[in-house]
A and B are shown apart, each in its own frame.
Chain A
Amino acid sequence: MKIALLGNPGAGKSLIFNQLTGLGVEINRYPGTSVTLECGNVCYKKEKTELVDLPGIYSLDGSSEEETLVRTFLERGGADVIAAVLDATKLERNLYLFVQAAEFSPKMIVVINMIDEAERQGLLIDATQLSSFLGVPVILTAASEGRNIDRILPVALNEARPALVRVPYDHHIEAALKSLEKTMGTPIHTNLLALQGIGDDPILLDAAGAIAKEIELRHHMSVRQIIATNRHNFARGITASAVKKSERKKSYDLDSLLTRAFPGVPILITVLFVLLLSVFVIGSWMEAIIVESFTTSVITPFTALALPPLWDQIGFSMLIALQAGFGIAFPFIFTFYLGLSLLEDTGYMTRAAFVADRGMHRLGLHGEAIIPMVIGFGCTVPAVMSLRILKTRREQTIAAFLISMVPCSARTVVIAGIVAAFVGILWAFSIYIIVFILLILTAVMLSRITPGEQFGMIVEMSPLRRPKVHLVLAKSWLRIKEFLFIAMPLLIITSIGLGLLQFFGLTDAFQQMVGPITSYLLGLPGYAPTALLFGIFRKELAFETLAVLAGTADLGSVMTSAQLYTFAIVNVLFIPCTSTLAVLYRQVGIRITAIISIYTVFLGIIIGAVINILMK
């Protein structure tokens, strides 16, 4: 048996999924996309049931990756039972998706979640009435309290059936559906999509397009609008008969602070600053402990084994990749994800997007783009993957440049380890300031020269709520797991590759070739470019390599403050790491990736040279 959870973003699907499966979840990347499908197994009455968490969507008739994926999933009958998770507080809007899914006529059940919040808002949902109307079993749940979650599996396994509802469409649309069915022999959901221009059969699309034009001529409205309106009105009818609303006194609305320009903008800046500062402080403190203990407990014993040189090199490269990975993953990225999940669970992120909209427009983006940028402070890889929430090519391109420049956790390690430790904490902050200024200049420049259309923000504001500790922890854990699964293998592979290069003496050749140039331009010692090269593979490796090549961990004794500062800033700006390049390639294509690499290399060298001249 296979059960899939379908629902709007923020309806609590993932939470239900986690409660049903526990934390033993595997994350599957869907072939050819960057959308992830989470799958997990549950045992119920000694029978194995597979559970799939589909990405949250508002509609099935769209062309975004998520919508296409879920649609194909339904078309192919990807699951035996579809459990539609609906948000009780927004039932009408959520039923819009349900009625679309019902057109594919899979076996379904309805899970109305967040019933606790609905009760607080004075909404009373009549499950029996709703169930008899929709023709499928309805369960009222409150996932955050765990209420009724245990009923989902038995009901899904025993009582699921195809929904009875069918949206009554405008009579022109109905006539079109009937005609297409008659002449083309295609089912209703395919025809509805074809009328909106979606599908892969050219003959069907042609015929449907001709009818759509007729209908549009008669209605002075696009077929999309007509169909959407019909569905919404139908959903409204269902909601009206099944939901009783009693007025409640409105409590104080925090939004009057958060979504105004004042004090909304200062609050946003403070929140981001506090987030970054705490990651910086907590991260550097924890990292030192982890790296230290890993060295004494794993690396020293390994080197003591004295394996043959080649195997020693490969094993050593793998271990330092693990060490660096964990040294970043838990102290910096996990701390960051805790903060990020906290901001998301309180519902603050959508407010941040709203108040940032104006500023982001100046950068050629819009409010929603702040979300990938903030994620970028943790790790650039998931930030690039989240670029798909931006809808146009232009926005994705600009945001890809900016995200590649945002100082991620690994770069924070370099700044903390080199500049804050040996030069001074204020100098460390000055690097952030320089990066931000460059970031803004880059964005302003790009927004003038990037071709393409700008598409504004349309974001649903998530309700403000008090976050629950265990939920924040679970979410952060899920995210860090994604990092470990995606970034870690890349870290290990590049580290081994680098180890082999070093083993066959190629890095020395590189050093002799580039060394004189960097020492002239940047005033850095001859071994610095090798460290910078390593930094391309993994940003924080630059720091470790520098220490190895300099022969001491006390960098202050072998390099001047100016040299350390220059090294750090070049490394921070200079080309994103290979893992980032790999996801960039997938998300925005080879051309933009190449331009970003070249641009950042030049930017790094130029700024480094300028600082070198200024500090002499």
Chain B
Amino acid sequence: MQPSLREDYLEAIEHFMIVNALPPRYNDIAAGLGKAESVVHSDMDDLVLSGDVTILPGGLIMLTGKGQQTGLSVIKKHETLQCFLSEILGMDSSSASDEACTLEHTISDETIDRLGQLIVKQDRQWQQGRGRHLRQESTLKYRVEEKNCQCPSIADCSEGENVTIHCIHGRACAKRILDLGMVPGEHISIKRKLSNGALVVQVKGCDVALSPEIASAIGVERLP
């Protein structure tokens, strides 16, 4: 069974329990999820095997401890997400028109094009069903950081150059880089570069030594 399907079932069962204070039957779940009762029957057998539910005599579906925890977790997740989205929208609606007025005068055509593309892309992902894309495994967590970007890395710069950090990609361990103040938008200067590519950079008034492989994970823009 797909993990997302399992979560859907467990959520539905837990939800029913919370609302009605008694365990659901097959037809309740089938109605709740809009599925045929026969499909629900066979899926429940799978859930019994995976230890998420037990079927009581009389066709009552009970969650096991494990199943209940997953169900609760999914419900909480959705609730939080719902809340989050309305928070964003709430904020946007109050300030959106002001912002749009300012943008109108300063934004370039290219930017408008790109924004348009971005919105379409996000909407498409949105329509693919909230349930599914939210439940992708968390291996994708650092996807954004791993994205290839076109800008030169700090390893390509030479001694004495001043640059602005554009992006940091690669490892999850980039934490220390962030803590030392190397965040997007920060100006840094390269104080020393050895022949193997090891660097000393000056950031926020401190000198920081970097190995070549770390340096190549920091994308920069050269200052004019």
Contact = CB atoms under 8 A, between A and B. Distances in A.
Given A175-B84, A183-B83, A458-B210, A92 B200 contact: no
Given A90-B205, A220-B144, A261-B194, A207 B77 contact: yes
Contacts, number: 196
A459 B204 contact: no
A383 interface: no
A355 B194 CA distance: 8
Interface in B81-140: 81, 83-85, 87-88, 91, 122, 125, 134, 136, 138, 140
B192 interface: yes
A62 B175 contact: yes
Contacts of A458: 176-177, 180, 208-211, 214
A180 B206 CA distance: 36
A114 B205 CA distance: 15
A520 to B, nearest CB: 48
A446 to B, nearest CB: 18
B87 A178 contact: yes
21 contacts: A58-B180, A175-B87, A183-B80, A184-B80, A203-B69, A206-B74, A207-B77, A210-B77, A210-B81, A213-B136, A214-B85, A216-B141, A219-B144, A221-B145, A232-B204, A261-B194, A357-B196, A358-B194, A367-B211, A453-B171, A458-B210
B84 A218 contact: no
A366 interface: yes
Contact of B181 (A92, A180, A207, A350): A92
Given A206-B76, A210-B134, A457 B209 contact: yes
Given A207-B77, A354-B192, A361-B211, 5 more contacts: A93-B204, A176-B84, A206-B77, A361-B212, A461-B200
A580 interface: no
Nearest to A216: B144
B184 interface: yes
Given A202-B73, A367-B198, A461 B208 contact: yes
Contact of A461 (B141, B196, B209): B209
Contacts of B198: 354, 357-358, 367, 457
A175 B93 CA distance: 14
B195 interface: yes
B156 interface: no
Nearest to A182: B83
Contact of A220 (B134, B141, B147, B181): B147
Nearest to A202: B73
A264 B135 CA distance: 53
A215 B187 CA distance: 25
A14 interface: no
Interface string A238-278: 00000000000000000100011100000000000000000
A456 interface: yes
B186 interface: yes
Nearest to B198: A357
B81 A232 contact: no
A441 B150 CA distance: 40
A220 B85 CA distance: 18
A489 interface: no
Interface string B186-224: 100001101110101000111111111111000000000
A494 B81 CA distance: 59
Contact of A358 (B167, B176, B196): B196
The B contact surface, by secondary structure, is: helix
A62 B173 CA distance: 10
Given A92-B204, A93-B180, A354-B200, A366 B211 contact: yes
A90 B204 contact: yes
B154 interface: no
Contacts of B195: 261, 358
- The 9 A-B residue pairs with the shortest CB-CB distance, nearest first, are A456-B211, A175-B87, A179-B83, A461-B207, A228-B178, A59-B179, A58-B179, A207-B80, A179-B84
Interface string A82-119: 00000001101100100000000000000000000000
A117 B61 CA distance: 71
Contacts of B85: 214
Contacts of B215: 456
A225 interface: yes
B137 to A, nearest CB: 10
A214 B81 contact: yes
A222 interface: yes
A261 B196 CA distance: 10
Nearest to B167: A221
A216 B76 CA distance: 20
A204 to B, nearest CB: 8
Nearest to A366: B211
B188 to A, nearest CB: 12
Interface in A110-152: none
Contacts of A218: 122
Given A175-B88, A220-B144, A455 B179 contact: no
A197 interface: yes
Contacts of A260: 192, 194
A123 to B, nearest CB: 9
Contacts of A221: 144-145, 167, 184
Contact of A228 (B72, B183, B200, B212): B183
Interface in A172-229: 172, 174-176, 178-180, 182-184, 197, 202-203, 206-214, 216-222, 224-225, 228-229
Interface in A445-503: 453-461
Nearest to A211: B84
Contact of B143 (A93, A183, A210, A216): A216
B10 interface: no
Contacts of B138: 197, 209
Contact of B196 (A212, A361, A453): A361
B146 to A, nearest CB: 10
Given A354-B200, A358-B198, A89 B205 contact: yes
Contact of A357 (B88, B142, B207, B211): B211
A214 B206 contact: no
A182 B79 CA distance: 10
Contact of B179 (A214, A228, A259): A228
A206 B138 CA distance: 9
Contacts of B83: 178-179, 182-183
B132 to A, nearest CB: 12
B179 to A, nearest CB: 4
Contacts of B194: 260-261, 354-355, 357-358
A360 to B, nearest CB: 9
A222 B217 CA distance: 14
Contact of B73 (A203, A220, A455): A203
Nearest to B178: A228
A62 B175 CA distance: 7
A433 B211 CA distance: 28
B213 A454 contact: yes
A171 interface: yes
A455 B171 contact: yes
A391 interface: yes
